[in-house]
Amino acid sequence: MSAVDDDPPPPPPPPPGGAGGTAKLAAIAMGIGVAALAGWAIYDAMGDERIAPPDDEDFPPLPTPAEPSTRAMVSSGGGVGWTWVNPRPMALPTLYAVDTSDAGERALFVGVGGAALRYADDGLFAIDTGTDAALRGVAWTGGGEAIAVGDRGTILRMEADAVRPIEAGVEVDLRAVAATGEGQATAVGDGGTVLEVDASGARLVAIGTEVDLMAVFARGPDRFVAGAGGTIVRIGEDGPVVEPTPVSRALRGIGGCPSGSVYAVGDRGALLRRLADGTWRALRGPEGESFTAVSCDHGRVAAVTTAGRVLLLSGDGTVELPSGFDRVWHGVDGATEGRSWLVGIGGRLATIEQDHVRTRTAGPTYPLRALGAMGGALLGVGEWGKVIQQTEGGFGERESPTEAGLAALLQLAEGRALAVGDYGAIVDIRHDVATLVPSPTEASLRGVVGDADGLMMVGAGGIVLRGRLDGLRANVVPDVGDLHGLAGDASSAIAVGDGGAVLRLDERGFARVPCDVGVTLRAVGRWPIGAWAVGDDGVIVRVHESSCVVERRGGPALHAVGLGPEGRPMAVGDDGTSLVRGEDGSWGPSRLVIGTASLRAVYRSSSHVYVAGTGGVMARHILLDGT
């Protein structure tokens, strides 16, 4: 599978009173914030008083919303001896688009890094696309074949037994595609690009605009394209016609059912409905929150947002279905019958089941950076201050007092743990509550060792904190840069960081260990059998008392080192890299097969070894070394 990209930290939660209550809403890469959802009265987004003509269609009724449910697909093993723990069913990449067929019984999903999945017979199957370009649109074109489009002019024809590239003739990013006939489709992209695509190739269509186009919808002889600046162009038998809209915000989705209203949605709550005379009426959308996609759903229309909202539209009426998700839905697709599919960040999949949303994946999908334990239960911490804890039913998210990313975790007692992270955040985690501890620094903290009687922490700018939790004192190691990893205890530890920095630290000072590797070291582990550090360029060094020896170099960055199932050093990192040290001192691939997620943590409990990383990926292996 493909890696799951890391989102930027979200803004503060919305003010009280908005729909979604106290849910924390995630920001997307466009830098658009989220805000509370207001009522859904009709309004004109540009403030004019134009009176729209009456409607002349019958609108299907909207349901009474029911609570969301979860029905995760079956988990599977991740390699010999390794088993998926979270999320379920497996590590999925962030998905950007979906297209369904056969009333939702078949579906294609595409996303980051050339990822593509096929759903059929209640199972998910990975498709090797042969590209690392992000795929942003997909459409069934008949006969079990489909066309997918993406960045750098990527066009793929997905056949039953092969994926074949189609020459686009352009290098712009393609954002969406819609089927227009057997084996035929229309794709749109940046700079006003419109392409007619079939098995023989792609041909440019001039529509008289150079704005970035982000969505396309086909109905009969007409194709509607939408994009930046509130642009909508209808391409029909009479050629392209610009249809004026009452908004100037980017429109990111356009669609509807085989008959009835066509809707367009976009940034900052832009929500438009096309009337019978070809004019567009603005409806009230969630101000500050953005729509990402819109599609047919059981005869009405479904629209999704950057904050996990799922809205059903019929005429000017709307109703929200609770989704149990507060992050980005990137795509939605359905038909007049059967289930509609939703896809989103972190590989989240869900379906719309008439009156409620059913999540088809389970478990947190936030990037995890450290693992530990408390009271016999596994803990994980990661981006946006997330704290997850193992329960009888899987992993659940605990309330956190911070949105700062958390990078390291230490068990202080049977029922107490400590996490440290960005902006000097120190979080005291107990069974019933997690609280922020006053910190003597605003420098980001990356490592912590010790116990309740004495602690040591390291982080950005060479910061070193020592002392008890209620009396930490700060010092800075000069000319060392950022420190990224720490191993040992409060009286004797090894820290590693920028430019191959290796320090030996005690209760009062430090000593530098020469280590001429020339790259950043990101983690270090120390055990009775020795100490090893790992970092960029796949480097692994063995740290001796006053020197270090390079044992391996080359490949993806390594982010964590621990003892593996057989008690030998194990290093993990980007692109799903997992290495184990052999008895002869050489490093080779372990048996962990986890796709291309970036692995950030190795944790050894009394009975298992766990690894974790982006997308909430977590796998475990029972101990084999007799301990």
- Work out the number of other CB atoms within 10 angstroms of the CB of residue 393: 9
pLDDT band at 206 (very low <50, low <70, confident <90, very high): very high
Q: Give dist(CA 340, CA 298) in Å, integer.
A: 8
Q: Give dist(CA 118, CA 45) in Å, integer.
A: 39
Q: Is the pLDDT of residue 36 over 60?
A: no
pLDDT tens-digit readout, 555-566: 999 999 999 999
Average pLDDT over residues 124-136: 93
Taking a C-beta distance cutoff of 8 angstroms, is the pair 559, 574 a contact?
Answer: yes
- Work out the number of other CB atoms within 10 angstroms of the CB of residue 172: 17
Q: Distance of CA 317 to CAs 39, 59, 219, Å?
A: 11, 9, 22
pLDDT band at 74 (very low <50, low <70, confident <90, very high): low
To the nearest whole number, what is the mean pLDDT of the chain?
88
Q: Give dist(CA 355, CA 377) in Å, integer.
A: 36
Q: What is the DSSP string of 519-560?
A: S-EEEEEEETTEEEEEEGGG-EEEE-SS-EEEEE--SS-EEE
Of 75, 230, 71, 205, nearest in space to 619 by CA: 75
**Ordered structural domains, the chain, with CATH:** 92-359 (2.130.10.10), 518-627 (2.130.10.10)
For the ranges 53-62, 308-317, 543-552, the lowest mean pLDDT is seen at 53-62
Of 587, 572, 558, nearest in space to 621 by CA: 572
Question: How far, rounded to the nearest angstrom, does the alpha carbon of residue 186 sit from its chain's CA centroid?
Answer: 28
> Longest C-alpha distance within the chain, in Å?
83
Q: Is the pLDDT of residue 275 over 80?
A: yes
pLDDT tens-digit readout, 77-104: 444 588 888 888 877 889 999 999 988 8
Residue with the larger pLDDT of the pair 14 and 433 = 433
pLDDT band at 4 (very low <50, low <70, confident <90, very high): very low
Q: Give dist(CA 361, CA 347) in Å, integer.
A: 8
Taking a C-beta distance cutoff of 8 angstroms, is the pair 249, 288 a contact?
Answer: no
Contacts of 573 (CB under 8 A, 6+ apart): 534, 538, 556, 557, 558, 559, 560, 598, 599
- Report pLDDT for 376: 86
pLDDT band at 55 (very low <50, low <70, confident <90, very high): low
Helices and strands (DSSP H and E) totals, the chain: 0, 57
Phi, psi of 228 (to 5 degrees): -60, 155
Q: Quick one: three-class SS letters along 454-483? A: EEEEEEHHHEEEEECHHHCEEEECCCCCCE
- Report pLDDT for 445: 98
Q: Is the pLDDT of residue 347 over 90?
A: no
pTM, 2 dp: 0.71
Contacts of 442 (CB under 8 A, 6+ apart): 423, 424
Q: Give dist(CA 263, CA 254) in Å, integer.
A: 6
- Report pLDDT for 77: 45
Structure tokens at 81: 């001896």
Q: Is the pLDDT of residue 42 over 80?
A: no
Q: Is the pLDDT of residue 489 over 80?
A: yes
| % of the chain residues with pLDDT over 70 | 89
**What is the distance between the terminal CA atoms of the chain, rounded to a whole angstrom?**
33
| % of the chain residues with pLDDT over 90 | 76
- Report pLDDT for 183: 94
